[in-house]
């Protein structure tokens, strides 16, 4: 089964890293970026039209404002039996189907960057012409990249806000904690080492099948101790309400981008 990834930016590269053992071709309009991907992953980089014509599966991994022009360019080169898998944020399957001929099998997906290390979270949803066999095919292809969850398309804007963007929120927290360590008097390299190891450790615990974030937090908070003092400070600055407002704003932005 041959796969073509159109768009080799942050997410295209992450998918490529995860899929690199398969038969993958990349299409990337920036020549410097294309050379980097080809030498780093040993994959062929091709022109758009032939790469789309020959592929069994075409991944669309461009920015939302580039997708209409891209679909117009490939409309004459797609064929029945091909699967179109979009990772384009905020772009409904209906607007992809409308720009392609026939009854294209379109699957909308929302991956996140940890797909590059096999620890991604990928939500998928089939368009009007995607069969359950098509969804099974996508699920099997993406399984090595992390957890694959099928959702209703109406849920994908919220999924985008939550797990699509989620790695950035954890990274922001890690950055803030590193600065906090410096503010508390630690040298920056030591603060970085401690925070990154703590993030990896907490991530591993939270990744176990019976993980319970509330129980983990409670287990760290000694009565009258240091951690509950820190959590009181965070809660008095409305950490939870801020996170909720941020995710809802991101969901609304995804909906707005799809209009
Ligand atoms: N970065 C992330 O964590 C995630 C991104 N996404 C989605 O993935 C898509 C891409 O995002 P990024 O990779 O972050 O953006 P990016 O800007 O890093 O990459 C897009 C790439 O597509 C290339 N490109 C644009 N039009 C092209 C065309 N016609 N032919 C070939 N190459 C073309 C650009 O040169 C660029 O390298 C977006 O729609 C985004 O919503 C989805 C989930 C997570
Ligand atoms: O920020 C964005 O629009 C994309 C979608 C999810 C993660 N990155």
Taking the mean position of all CA atoms in its chain, how far away is CA 76? 29
What are φ and ψ of residue 106, in 5° steps?
Answer: -115, 130
Domain ends where: 101, 127, 151?
Answer: 151
Neighbours of 182 (CB within 10 A): 14
> Which residue did the predictor score with more confidence, 1 or 113?
113
Distance 190 CA to ligand 1 centre (A): 34
Same domain, 213 and 241: yes
Expressed as residue numbers, the domain containing 176 is: 166-257
* CA 143 – CA 153 distance, rounded (Å): 20
Q: What pTM, to 2 d.p., does this model score?
A: 0.95
pLDDT, the chain, mean: 96
DSSP 8-state assignment for residue 160 = I
Confidence of residue 22 (pLDDT cuts 50, 70, 90): confident
Q: Does a structural domain hold residue 161? A: no
Distance 164 CA to ligand 2 centre (A): 6
Same domain, 90 and 195: no
Closest protein CA for atom 4 of ligand 2: 89
Q: Is the pLDDT of residue 176 over 90?
A: yes
Same domain, 86 and 186: no
Closest protein CA for atom 34 of ligand 1: 7
* CA 113 – CA 120 distance, rounded (Å): 6
Q: How many residues does the chain have?
A: 259
The total number of structural domains in the chain stands at 2
When pLDDT is averaged across residues 90-108 and rounded to a whole number, the result is 96
| Residues 6+ away with beta carbon under 8 Å from 59 | 3, 4, 5, 6, 12, 15, 85, 86, 87
Complex ipTM, two decimals? 0.98
Same domain, 183 and 59: no
Q: Is the pLDDT of residue 21 over 80?
A: no
Q: Does a structural domain hold residue 249? A: yes
Same domain, 110 and 209: no
What are φ and ψ of residue 111, in 5° steps?
Answer: -85, 175
140: domain CATH number is: 3.40.50.720
Q: Does a structural domain hold residue 156? A: no
């Amino acid at each position: 089964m041959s796969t073509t990834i159109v768009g080799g930016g942050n997410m295209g590269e992450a998918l490529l890293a995860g899929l690199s053992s398969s038969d993958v071709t990349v299409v990337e309009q920036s020549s410097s970026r294309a050379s980097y991907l080809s030498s780093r992953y040993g994959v062929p980089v091709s022109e758009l039209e032939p790469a789309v014509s020959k592929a069994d599966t075409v991944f669309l991994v461009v920015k939302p404002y580039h997708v209409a022009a891209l679909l117009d360019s490939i409309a004459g080169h797609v064929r029945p039996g091909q699967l179109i898998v979009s990772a384009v944020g905020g772009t409904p399957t209906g607007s992809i189907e409308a720009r392609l001929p026939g009854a294209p099998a379109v699957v909308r997906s929302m991956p996140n960057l940890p797909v590059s290390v096999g620890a991604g979270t990928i939500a998928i949803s089939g368009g009007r012409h995607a069969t359950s066999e098509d969804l099974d095919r996508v699920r099997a292809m993406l399984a090595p990249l992390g957890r694959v969850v099928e959702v209703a398309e109406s849920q994908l804007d919220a999924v985008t806000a939550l797990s699509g963007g989620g790695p950035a929120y954890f990274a922001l927290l890690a950055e803030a904690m590193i600065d906090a360590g410096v503010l508390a008097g630690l040298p920056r390299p030591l603060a970085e080492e401690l925070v990154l190891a703590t993030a990896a450790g907490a991530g591993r615990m939270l990744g176990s099948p019976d993980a319970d974030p509330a129980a983990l937090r409670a287990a760290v908070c000694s009565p009258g101790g240091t951690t509950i003092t820190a959590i009181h400070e965070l809660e008095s600055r409305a950490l939870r309400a801020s996170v909720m407002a941020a995710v809802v704003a991101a969901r609304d932005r995804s909906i707005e981008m799809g209009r």
